[in-house]
Structure 1
Amino acid sequence: MAQKPAPDSTRRSEKSRRAIYDAALALVGEVGYPKTTIEGIAARAGVGKQTIYRWWSSKAEVLMEAFIDLGTQAAEAAGGDWAEGSGIPDTGDLETDLKNVLRATVDELNDPRFDAPARALAAEGVANPAFSEEFVGKLLMPSLELYAQRLRAAQDAGQVRADVDPYIARDLFASPLAQRWLQGTGPLDHAYANTLVEYALYGLAPRM
Structure 2
Amino acid sequence: MAPTKAPDSSRRSDRSRRAIHDAALALVGEVGYRRTTIEGIAARAGVGKQTIYRWWPSKAAVLMEAFLDLAGRAAEEAGPRSGDTAQAAQGIPDSGDLTADLKLVLRATVDELNDPALEVPTRALTAEGIVDAQLGAEFVTKLLEPQLALYVTRLRAAQEAGHLRADADPRIALELLIGPLMHRWLLRTLPLTHAYADAIVDYTLGGLTPRP
Report the TM-score when normalising by structure 1. Answer: 0.92
Shift of 1:118: 0.6
Counterpart of 1:166, as a letter, is P
Distance in 2 (CA, whole Å) between partners of 1:174 and 1:49 is: 39
User: 1:81 is matched with which residue?
Assistant: 87
Over residues 22-54 of structure 1, what are the superposed CA-to-partner deviations in whole Å (9 max), with x where a residue is unaligned? 111122223333332211111111111111111
Once the two structures are superposed, the pairs formed by residues 50-199 of structure 1 within 5 Å of their partners are 50-79=50-79, 81-82=87-88, 87-199=91-203
Gaps of 5+ in 1: none
**TM-score of the superposition, structure 2-length normalised?**
0.90
The answer to whether the aligner puts 1:200 opposite 2:207 as a matched pair is: no
Aligned 1:34-45 pairs, distance under 5 A: 34-45=34-45
Who is 1:18 aligned against? 18
Deviation at 1:130, TM superposition (A): 2.0
Look up the equivalent residue of 1:31 and give its one-letter code: V
Give the aligned partner of residue 82 of structure 2.
Answer: none
Q: How many residues align?
A: 206
Distance 2:41 2:164 in 1: 47
Q: Deviations over 1:48-99 (max 9, x none)?
A: 111111122222221221111111111111215145xx53111111111111
Deviations 1:95-117 (Å, cap 9, x if unpaired)? 11111111111111111111111
Q: Is contact 1:88-1:146 (8 Å) kept?
A: yes
The structure in which a higher percent of residues are helix is: 2
Structure-1 separation of matches of 2:166 and 2:156:
9
Residue identity matched to 2:188: G
Runs of 4+ aligned structure 1 residues displaced above 3 Å come to none
Between 1:45-54 and 1:165-174, the stretch displaced more is: 45-54
Moved more, 134-143 or 25-34: 25-34
Query: 3-state DSSP class of the match of 1:81?
Result: helix
For residues 151 and 78 of structure 1, the distance between their equivalents in structure 2, rounded to whole angstroms, comes to: 25
